[in-house]
Structures are given as C-alpha cells and as structure tokens.
Homo-oligomer: A and B are copies of this chain.
C-alpha cells in the first residue's frame, strides 16, 4: 500500500467518526470526504459502501466499549472496586456518552438486536459478553436483582441512550432518571 493511501485511510476513518458522531447516521458521504479533505472516490476506495464504513466505526467503538467493560470487570473480580459500582458506573458512562455522541445509542441498539438474533449462548458482540459479566458479578455481590437478565438490561440501557439522545438530557436530568432505573435494578 502506498504511503498516501495509508495516510488517507486514517484521515477518512477519523473524519467519519467525527462527522457521524456529530450528525448521526444520515450524514452524507460527501460531508465525510470534505472533512477528511479527500474526494468521495477515495472514501469508496477504502470502504466499498457506506454500510462498510459505518460497520468499521461501530466495530472500533464496540471494541473500546468492550475494553472498558472488561477492565471494570477485572477490577471487580480483583476486589479493587465493588461489583455493584462497576456495573452502575459502566451503565452511567454509556448513557453519558450517548448524550453527546449520538451514534452510541444506535450502536448499542444494533448490538442488542444482534444479541437477540444470536440469542441464548454464543452472544455475538464482545461488548455484550462484557456487559453480561459485569451484570453477573453485580448480581453475585447482591447489588442487582437476580431476575434481571441481559435482555432487560440492554433494553433499559439502549432505552436510556435513545431517550437521552432524542430529548437532549442535561446532566441533572440524566442523573435523576438513572437513579430511578438503578433503584429498580437493585436487589
């Protein structure tokens, strides 16, 4: 691969993340290309379709999310933090992220749908596995009711993300609303 091609690939990915995060999924490819300072042809050379570009960004986001969740799970396992805090902190951080980076909400929802498609055992996304780990740990620690499964938690999580996104929750409203959800989730 030529040096300029590699440079452009990174610029396109960066620009796509920026623009999609700002404008949502409906952002035109032309905007992404302009942001990256390249032509649309260059974007299409890297990602054959808009869907592919979107998938690439989602995969990246999901990976980071999974890493965050795994890190919290490991700390909880080690006893550095308690499992309940780990679970609720993660939940909160996702919703907070969704408020500003609107693409988060859709991503999470997509993941949830994937989860349903591959329901039961071999859950598709790493994020989902990581979230389930946090959930189970919190339940073992007695911080979360045991009759709440992954589907319910994902429903609450993406619901909160979607509402936060569409209604533009401020920090105070987010805190109060999450407090209600968290109280419902407790054992």
Contacts and interface: CB of A to CB of B under 8 A. Distances in A.
A154 interface: yes
Contact of A154 (B112, B145, B167): B167
Interface string A153-179: 011101110111011110001001100
B152 A109 contact: no
A164 B109 CA distance: 10
Interface residues of A, number: 32
B173 A166 contact: no
A185 interface: yes
Contacts of A149: 176
Given A112-B166, A154-B167, 14 more contacts: A113-B167, A148-B180, A151-B176, A155-B164, A155-B177, A156-B163, A158-B166, A159-B163, A159-B164, A162-B163, A180-B184, A181-B181, A182-B184, A184-B184
16 contacts: A109-B166, A112-B166, A113-B166, A113-B167, A148-B176, A152-B180, A155-B163, A155-B177, A156-B181, A158-B162, A162-B163, A180-B181, A180-B184, A181-B181, A184-B184, A184-B185
